[in-house]
Structure 1
Amino acid sequence: MDTRKMGVFLRIISTVLLVLSACLVGLDTQTKVIFYTFTRKATFRDLDALYLLVWIDSGAAVYNLLQLFRSFRKNLITAPYKNLAWGVYFLDQAAAYVVFAANTAAIQASALAVTGEESFQWMKLCNRYTRFCFQIGGALVCSYIAAILMAIISTMSAYALFRLYSPKQFLLLKGR
């Protein structure tokens, strides 16, 4: 398979996983009745890390969609391809790192919901809101897979950038 086709395929898969993750986290709620009269609703807004994860996954999905639209336009690739390749390389790196960091922060915050923290008198929440926690866990797995795919995409954009340069002289463009 051609590297361009592979890049498009990986971007489509990572976009689908990012959208799935954002929807799973953003639409996940569970309500429990406590003490027969008081109701408590668990949502993604209860943890700031999950709230940020929804926005970061959505933004990364939009970025991947924009890159997909750019790759389908053949006439966009013109003479200043080197500058475009540098821009795509840096944006791919930034998107992969930010998605990975947001997932790691969300997992760290979710671990406290699973285990609790007795010294702060934080109780375990996942023994009460099991469906909510399982759905968040599935969303985090999808988002981590998307982050790994985005790291692979970033590697492919690095290859596309550095193949433009000469291997004999440092950072000198190849002759046409």
Structure 2
Amino acid sequence: MTGALFRRQWPAVACGALLWLMAFGAGWWWAPADPTGVSRAPKNGDWDLYTEILARNVGVSAALFLGVVTFGVMTIPLTLLTGILAGYYGGQGSAVLGAEGVVRHLLPHMPLELACLALAAAAGLVPLVAWARVGLTGRAGEPAGGTVPRGVTGFVARSGFPDACRLWGVAVAGLIVAAGIETWVST
């Protein structure tokens, strides 16, 4: 089921990943190399930390996904903003932690977390990419159910909303795992 979802929505996944990861890279690039004034406060892995991390990450992913309400248009500035901020803070953290600290405290959870946030951005971009596909190719992508009904239900299906919800669900599932890794492995 997930494989078929990614095959149907690969253009949105590619656009979301490219946009979010480019913004993340720009934020990391702009982060100060001098960690003066930035400190690291060690935290203990517990359920409070887990819920704090999970709430923050799911909140960001929800903001990225809610661009689907504006047919993907608001996902673009939100992706740029959250990607740049996350990259900036990640770059600051790497300056404070050093190479050994990055391997110990960021590398265990960061790849999964970044991929899931990029997937949430992709979910928010699904309607925009579906609209662009129709405009560029003259045909819509295949919806999950095969035939598309008429009216509002058909419009929602053609815009890719069901697939956008599924993509966001996969992103949230990954963020649940990433929050656990960040809490009990990366701390």
More strand by share: 1
TM-score, normalising length: structure 1: 0.37
TM-score, normalising length: structure 2: 0.35
More helix by share: 2
Structure label with greater radius of gyration: 1
